[in-house]
Chains A and B, each alone.
Chain A
Amino acid sequence: MDVIVNLFCAAVLAGTPLLFGTLGEILTEKSGNLNLGVEGMMFMGAISGLAGALFYENLFSVPGGIPAAVLAVVFSFLFGMLGALIYSFLTVTLRANQNVTGLALTIFGTGFGNFFGDVIGGRSASGYAAVGAATKAVFQNIRIPYLSDIPYLGKLLFSYNFLVYLGIAVAVTMAVFLNKTRTGLNLRAVGEDPAAADAAGINVTKYKYFATCIGGGICGIGGMYISMVICSGVWVNNCVSGMGWIAVALVIFATWSPSRALLGSLVFGGLSIMRMYIPLGIPSQIYDIFPYLATVIVLIATGIRQSREHAIPKSTGVNYFREER
């Protein structure tokens, strides 16, 4: 029983960056934009979150703390947004190919992360970029008196860092937004059929920009999770290492539903830490392949059975131009 509880908790922690990435991309694709730059935006969020916290620490010469952590969240969101803004400008306004623009964003974002990671590291005394102990502490798992002490349940529900709860809140909010609000309905219409949405008086460009940029910001927070939680506030080159891409695949697994994204990221989080909990007697490098292998299997499984209701928004990947004829 303990093994299962531990595995579950570890899976939640490992799956949270995937959750942010998946949610961000779901929102993006709901507007008809297929942004393959999730990996790049996560890199941008990862470094800028770290930089934001460091900025605060250096400004006040303190070892960080809650304000530094808040700044990390804000910075990562803003820089994820910046990446998405470049993407939106190129695809929505300048009508560039979505596939290639997304790939370019990945190349750019990866370079952005590693470049500034090295620059910041090179300028600090230690030679590498690392946040202070107080900031690190904010990203530790919480402990709520009494609640966290409930056997099993306490650990299962009340033992994570604050970003986990933020991620779940984003998922729930997004589900309500898409299904129960007018703005959500309008956004879905834009992604399904921009011409129809346009004819109904919806500002397609505005919706695409907003959804893609906020989606990018959410991806950025996912990247910050990697640098602040998984890498414990130390910059590691190439730290995102494909998680952005798995998130893109998880969107398909989640059939564009935020609530199913919760399940998907839990499963894939579990796969990535399995070697520490379930010994199968195989080399650890083979364990590392599992998430990627599972993604392929998910792609095949979801690709073979397709339905109209739970499908990709119809206009995804295609740019809209009102005057095209």
Chain B
Amino acid sequence: MTDELNAIRLMDITKSFGDVLANHNISLDVRYGEILALLGENGSGKTTLMNILSGIYYPDSGHIIVGGEEVSIHSPKDAHDLGIGMIHQHFKLVDVLTATENIVLGLKGDARLNRKDLNETIGKLSAKYGFEIDPAKKIYNMSVSEKQTVEIIKLLYRGAEILILDEPTAVLTPQESEKLFKVLRNMRNDGKAIVIITHKLNEVLAVSDRVSILRKGCSVGTVITGDTNRQELTELMVGRAVSLEIERPDPPAIKDAFLKVIDLTCVDSDGHTVLDNISFTLNRGEILGVAGIAGSGQRELCEAITGLYPIKGGAILCRGETPSGSFHENIVGKTPTEIIKKGVAMAFVPEDRLGMGLVASMDMVDNMMLKSYKNGKGPFTDRSTPKKMAEHMIKALDIVTPGVFTPISLLSGGNVQKVLLGREIASSPSVLLVAYPVRGLDINSSYTIYDLLNEQKKKNVAILYIGEDLDVLLELCDRIMVLCGGKVSGIVDAKKTSKDKLGLMMVHADSEKDGETA
């Protein structure tokens, strides 16, 4: 009888990757007609566990019981057949196909693809749930939230009764998240079982009925959402009582502009404007946050400033460190090497750590010399200095690695980020650009990163922080600039604004700009 209530029962699931034990004897129940939050830090094994349910991974041991019967799920197709559907954090949609084509992908049916009829059916289905979507629209023309809608319709069209959503709000504005929650509640009332993977306590409290908490690959308990609170959940998630407040040292009282960006405009290779007349000032000793929906021009902004992205118009004035004086120097059109030669010590921690900031297959020593390998005369490289630097860094930042000659790709996400940020800070920069520096990191590593940034801030470094978690931006930064579609929708004082205000600015470039302090 009890099993009939349970949509899914997981028993003693274990899964390891090489030496890493991602899931260790985890047991979990999912019920129809409820929203279960799966809470845990990054790296606690939430996604792995749900990937096992959706057929992406196969467990080393353990049992999966669906509707009272033991099953074994070898592939996503098996999961579909059991009525399990998952929306991954990185959407599994084919860019060049339309919404309809993506929705019917892989399903049985007439050999001939009748696009007209299918579009109609899907149009009706989405109308029933109150979605607004054009079935014939190509995915690459869609916004993030539209893509998410397509994923939800895809699951509904396939008759999924158990829906798993992996960090669904990570890419949404607060308003879009609220809309999504409404949809989820409707589906719950419709009798479906819903699992939402998250590490955000607010969401857990706002939308779930029960919470299961994972820590370091182990299950630490399940509580009824109504009976718990932030503090208890934090303790369960982290394992000890911690304050989740981020330190924010005061910036210098006298503003000392280091970087002045004036009417910066960039166009991508397809001719679309990706940065549209961006203007802002970055002061010494402050952290300027940048918020915005993914793809609003954040990456291009960082790369344009560091000389990696072609600039169509505008100016970037930078305080040169030359002895002749400290006048602002325009660095537009200069290559990264030329910018360094101008005496501008610029450090950049890019979003793509292993694809841009570091060379994954190389060891720490070779990665240390990435930007400085040209130092020294003669045709040969010097590996003794970077080796010393790597050894020092391992001690100073508590980097866990078998040794300086281990390929970076074998390190955990947090350690990779420490290596990258550590190298950039070691160049004693006067301006530091960091893009999504805590993405995928557990809480401990995240706080190490915040501390390192604050340390630099106290050293009077000007810091540009591209972030996605609005809570972090609000706590860490001094001012926040919001980007929307490549435009600046406003620059606000972080102490005087709210998440909702930022959310509105993220979708309306021309919203009111009150509270602007720049």
Contact = CB atoms under 8 A, between A and B. Distances in A.
Same complex origin of A and B = yes
Nearest to A183: B111
Task: Give the size category of B's interface with A.
Answer: 20 to 34
A201 B95 contact: no
A323 B97 contact: no
B24 to A, nearest CB: 17
A199 B76 contact: yes
Interface in B244-292: none
A28 interface: no
A308 B105 contact: no
A193 B92 contact: yes
A325 B410 CA distance: 11
A51 B365 CA distance: 58
B140 A308 contact: yes
A203 interface: yes
Contacts of A2: none
B57 A193 contact: no
- Among A180, A182, A186, max chain B CB count under 10 A is at A182
A195 interface: yes
A200 B106 contact: yes
A142 to B, nearest CB: 32
Interface string A195-221: 111111111000000000000000000
A284 interface: no
Contacts of B111: 181-183
Interface residues of A, number: 26
A128 B80 CA distance: 59
B1 interface: no
Nearest to B88: A199
A288 to B, nearest CB: 38
A79 to B, nearest CB: 29
A202 B97 CA distance: 15
B356 interface: no
A189 interface: yes
A180 B97 contact: no
A200 B76 contact: yes
A192 to B, nearest CB: 5
A245 B328 CA distance: 55
Contacts of A196: 91-94, 102, 105
A180 B112 CA distance: 6
A9 to B, nearest CB: 36
Given A201-B107, A202-B105, A323-B57, A181 B92 contact: no
A62 interface: no
Contacts of A309: 96
Contacts of A203: 75, 77
Contacts of A322: 56-57
Contact of A185 (B76, B92, B105): B105
Given A189-B106, A309-B96, 17 more contacts: A180-B113, A182-B113, A184-B113, A185-B113, A192-B94, A193-B92, A193-B93, A198-B76, A198-B92, A199-B54, A199-B92, A200-B106, A201-B77, A201-B106, A308-B95, A322-B56, A323-B57
Interface of B: 17, 54, 56-58, 75-77, 80, 86, 88, 91-97, 101-102, 104-107, 109-113, 140, 154
* 4 tightest Cβ-Cβ pairs between the two chains A and B: A199-B92, A201-B77, A200-B106, A196-B92
